[in-house]
């Protein structure tokens, strides 16, 4: 192993063929995995990609490409070598290299020359092409070439990355249809270079290239010293290559203006037919953009179709009808169960390649659907609302838009199919069955970008059972008093990105779900592999939320660089007995909060469908509940990693409330400064670690721990003058470790019983 000078960067040279090579912008969307690879190494690494389309071990040298690399090499450099696709071309004498003879000799020659320069070779087997036979079995087209690479690596004791085997796993995992999108398979008229349809199962799409580069980075973890140069992500304990990759939709250049189909922007004409006809025609023609130009467009429900980008131009207002008769009843899903509801203003089912874009506004006319609580309005607002019409409940505390809505409020699980509700027997409670504004069900490759969605009847944006979703730079608004007025509810979805969005809503801001109770467990589809970053949430019940309908599970979520300003709770993780499901592998970093009326960080297994901040006369005290036997309805929260959190003003800094039969487990909170009335309240928890956490509280009892074990407090800072730092109670409270930031134990270690400890950690 040669050593490089300390003042220079580690240099990695990539030599290979088109699957690795850089591409020009005109070549889009073709992407070599070597174009993505630099994103997965840190700033101490310089990556030079010298791979060239169409080259083999032979032609890369004869055409002079190798000399450009060789002349630069110095001790300590690395050269990644991947050839094979073009060495197979027997009818081309300028490229062909037989596997057991010339191909082997060429690899050996590269290795010897690299080592002669004091540099380090690394071999990669050729990446797979995509091919399945008639029975659906994957077909390997590389013959002996991969085995030769392995044999040479073993003989010369060279690091090996078996991208041949790893890429096969990824292709097979995506399936016959899904794996098409790893490669250059798309219809014509989307990309300038490809006016006709393309079917290329050798060269990668941006998504496929990112996956392949991630495999290379993953295998570098076992190769020293390269493992030291992998880029860390913003999330605790995770590398950049481990983050989810999301496919983006792409559309033909054709544009379908709704005006050509009879739409009139006068605010009076109902344009439902014209808009839907434009969408239908666009989809039938192979896709493109349906344009809603600036103006006031009144409409009923809009139904999306595959390959359509609904583009709402800046200055356009799409106002959904305030006549509830325009929204027929349909069978759909509500709060994680099958239910009858009014048709959503925007919906799409079993679609691919869809988008809603543009800087226009969608208004859901939510005021004709929503009930309103008297306690959430001023006296003047309440009087005005009641005078405008509608009906009140028996207690005169809640306003409903009409008698049908009030009747639904008193029914048992209204509209739920399991309770016997059908399309035929729900008309008399229709207005209670208010729709979510945008519902996308079982859709793939979805983009919502830049638009404003406001005034929804219920939840605003609801992707359900979707894959590869991007929500970017959206504005989502609902009145702060809007019951069930959530901003974004992602349910049982896989692979997504939510970034740059601004939300100001009446219920949870960005919420992750996966079905409710037995129906959710039977569906068994978790929400997984999502990045949530650079978002701002103003009023909401929670800034970032998981639950309470999480019965199908939630995992692999990455949340960073979000601001919560005035949300009732900041990070809100909620569930209840009967839900079941496992929420795990949640990574949160760099969160700012201010003016939080409830908890900055909340883990709660006692969710009871109440507002997180009690109204006047209500209580939020922990109920006394005896332990019950474990069963499939027992929920689990575990493996949360939270760091770099600042909160200026909250009722409670951290509240953790598990069940007697199921503790909340494996929670790490590091580098947090929380200014709150109360500090830490921890009940029924196991393996909770707080490191470098500052709790500046009004209460002198900074931390309360009950019926918990394996609690580690490392480098805790609290307000000078707090006489009681930590109060521990309950028979199961044990093994509370107090340590200093250097890893040494603090002054006391608590084992059992009712204890009050004073001044056990050094005050700053």
User: At 665, is the secondary structure helix, strand, or coil?
Assistant: strand
Catalytic residues: 18, 199, 203
225: preceding bond cis by omega (within 30 degrees): yes
- Alpha-carbon distance of 720 to 25, in angstroms, equals 59
Contact between 126 and 86 (Cβ < 8 Å): no
DSSP string, 259-296: GGGT---EEEEE-HHHHHHHHHHHHHTT-EEEEE-SEE
- Length of the chain as a residue count: 764
- Ranges of the chain whose pLDDT falls below 70: 1-7, 609, 614-625, 721, 723, 731-764
Give the percent of the chain with pLDDT over 90.
88
Q: Which residues contact 59 (CB under 8 A, 6 or more apart)?
A: 86, 94, 95
642-693 tens-digit pLDDT: 999 999 999 999 999 999 999 999 999 999 999 999 999 999 999 999 999 9
Contact between 356 and 312 (Cβ < 8 Å): yes
User: At 240, is the secondary structure helix, strand, or coil?
Assistant: helix
Query: What pLDDT does residue 194 have?
Result: 95
Q: Which residues contact 178 (CB under 8 A, 6 or more apart)?
A: none
Residue 356: both structure tokens together: 């809603």
Burial of residue 136, with CB atoms counted within 10 A of its CB: 0-12 exposed, 13-18 middle, 19 or more buried: exposed
- What is the distance, to the nearest Å, from the Cα of residue 433 to the centroid of all Cα atoms in its chain? 29
Query: What pLDDT does residue 754 have?
Result: 38
541-579 tens-digit pLDDT: 999 999 999 999 999 999 999 999 999 999 999 999 999
Residue 378: both structure tokens together: 């001023």
Q: Which helix (H) or strand (E) holds 384?
A: helix 379-387
Number of CB atoms found within 10 A of residue 330's CB:
18
H helices within 100-194, ranges in order? Answer: 104-116, 145-156, 163-178
- Selection from 260, 364, 346 nearest residue 308 by Cα: 346
pTM: predicted TM-score of the whole model, two decimal places: 0.94
Burial of residue 44, with CB atoms counted within 10 A of its CB: 0-12 exposed, 13-18 middle, 19 or more buried: exposed
Query: What pLDDT does residue 268 have?
Result: 97
H helices within 179-259, ranges in order? Answer: 206-220
Torsion of CA 610, 586, 530, 609, to 10 degrees: -10
Query: What pLDDT does residue 608 have?
Result: 76
């Amino acid at each position: 192993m040669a050593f490089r000078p300390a003042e220079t960067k580690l240099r990695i040279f990539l030599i290979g063929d088109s699957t690795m090579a850089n591409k020009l912008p005109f070549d889009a969307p073709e992407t070599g995995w070597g174009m993505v690879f630099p994103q997965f190494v840190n700033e101490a690494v310089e990556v030079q990609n010298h791979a060239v389309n169409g080259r083999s071990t032979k032609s890369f040298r004869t055409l002079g490409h190798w000399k450009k690399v060789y002349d630069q090499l110095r001790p300590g450099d690395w050269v990644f070598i991947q050839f094979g696709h073009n060495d197979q071309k027997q009818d081309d004498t300028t490229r062909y290299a037989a596997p057991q003879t010339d191909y082997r000799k060429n690899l050996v020659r590269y290795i010897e020359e690299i080592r002669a320069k004091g540099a380090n070779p690394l071999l990669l087997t050729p990446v797979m092409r995509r091919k399945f036979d008639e029975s659906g079995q994957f077909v390997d087209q590389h013959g002996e070439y991969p085995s030769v690479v392995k044999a040479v690596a073993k003989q010369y004791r060279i690091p090996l990355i078996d991208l041949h085997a790893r890429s096969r796993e990824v292709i097979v995992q995506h399936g016959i249809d899904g794996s098409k999108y790893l490669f250059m398979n798309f219809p014509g008229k989307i990309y300038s270079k490809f006016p006709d349809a393309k079917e290329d199962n050798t060269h990668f799409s941006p998504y496929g290239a990112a996956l392949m580069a991630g495999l290379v980075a993953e295998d570098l973890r076992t190769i020293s010293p390269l493992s030291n140069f992998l880029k860390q992500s913003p999330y605790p304990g995770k590398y950049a290559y481990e983050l989810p990759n999301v496919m983006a939709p792409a559309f033909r250049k054709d544009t379908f203006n709704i005006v050509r189909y009879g739409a009139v922007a006068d605010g009076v004409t109902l344009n439902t037919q014209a808009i839907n006809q434009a969408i239908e025609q666009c989809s039938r023609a192979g896709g493109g953009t349906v344009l809603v130009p600036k103006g006031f467009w009144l409409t009923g429900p809009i139904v999306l179709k595959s390959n359509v980008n609904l583009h709402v131009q800046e200055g356009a207002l799409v106002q959904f009808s305030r006549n509830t008769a325009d929204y027929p009843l349909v069978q759909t899903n509500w709060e994680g169960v099958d239910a009858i509801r009014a048709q959503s203003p925007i919906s799409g089912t079993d679609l691919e390649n869809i988008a809603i874009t543009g800087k226009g506004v969608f208004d859901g006319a939510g005021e004709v659907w929503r009930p309103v609580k008297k306690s959430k309005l001023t006296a003047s607002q309440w009087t005005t609302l009641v005078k405008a019409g509608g009906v009140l409940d028996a207690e005169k505390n809640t306003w409903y838009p009409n008698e049908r809505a009030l009747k639904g409020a008193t029914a048992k699980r209204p509209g739920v199919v399991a309770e016997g509700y059908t399309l035929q027997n729900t008309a008399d409670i229709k207005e209670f069955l208010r729709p979510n504004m945008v519902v996308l069900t079982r859709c793939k490759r979805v983009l919502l970008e830049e638009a404003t969605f406001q005034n929804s009847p219920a939840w605003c944006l609801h992707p359900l059972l979707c894959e590869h979703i991007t929500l970017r730079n959206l504005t989502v608004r609902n009145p702060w008093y809007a019951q069930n007025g959530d901003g974004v509810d992602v349910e049982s979805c896989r692979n997504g990105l939510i970034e740059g969005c601004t939300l100001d809503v009446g219920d949870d801001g960005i919420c992750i779900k996966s079905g409710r109770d037995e129906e959710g467990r039977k569906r068994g589809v978790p929400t997984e592999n999502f990045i949530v970053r650079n978002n701002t949430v103003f009023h909401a019940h929670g800034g970032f939320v998981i639950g309470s309908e999480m019965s199908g599970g939630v995992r692999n979520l990455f949340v960073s660089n979000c601001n919560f300003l005035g949300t009732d709770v900041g990070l809100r993780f909620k569930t209840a007995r009967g839900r079941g499901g496992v929420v795990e592998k949640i990574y949160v970093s760099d969160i700012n909060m201010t003016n939080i009326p409830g908890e900055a960080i909340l883990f709660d297994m006692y969710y009871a469908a109440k507002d997180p901040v009690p109204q006047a006369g209500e209580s939020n005290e922990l109920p006394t509940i005896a332990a019950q036997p474990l069963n499939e309805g027992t929920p689990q929260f575990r493996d949360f990693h939270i760091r770099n959190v600042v909160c200026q003003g909250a009722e409670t800094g951290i509240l953790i409330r598990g069940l007697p039969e199921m503790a909340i487990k494996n929670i790490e909170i590091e580098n947090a400064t929380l200014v709150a009335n109360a500090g830490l309240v921890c009940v029924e928890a196991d393996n909770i670690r707080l490191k470098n956490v500052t709790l500046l509280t009004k209460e002198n009892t900074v931390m309360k721990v009950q019926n918990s074990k394996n609690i580690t407090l490392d480098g805790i800072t609290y307000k000078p003058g707090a006489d009681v730092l930590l109060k521990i109670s309950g028979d199961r409270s044990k093994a509370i470790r107090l340590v200093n930031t250097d890893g040494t134990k603090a002054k006391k270690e608590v084992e059992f019983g009712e204890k009050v400890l004073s001044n056990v950690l050094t005050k700053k």
